[in-house]
Homo-oligomer: A and B are copies of this chain.
Amino acid sequence: MSKNLEVSTLLDFYGQLLTDKQREAVEYYYNDDLSLGEIAENLKISRQGVRDSIKRAETVMFEMEEKLGLVKTARQTRKSLDSIRKNIDIIDERNMKIYRSDAINESIKVILKELETLNNND
A residues with CB within 8 A of B: 13-14, 16-17, 64, 67-68, 70, 73, 76-77, 80-81, 83-84, 87-88, 90-91, 94-95, 98-99, 101, 103-104, 107-108, 110-111, 114-115, 117-118, 121
Contact = CB atoms under 8 A, between A and B. Distances in A.
Contact of A87 (B99, B111, B118): B111
A95 to B, nearest CB: 7
A70 B122 CA distance: 11
B121 A108 contact: no
A83 B81 CA distance: 14
A59 to B, nearest CB: 15
Contact of A84 (B84, B98, B101, B103): B84
Contact of A16 (B17, B68, B88, B111): B68
Nearest to A76: B121
A14 B17 CA distance: 13
A101 B98 contact: yes
10 A-B pairs with least C-beta separation: A87-B107, A16-B67, A80-B114, A99-B99, A90-B107, A87-B110, A91-B107, A87-B111, A84-B114, A83-B114
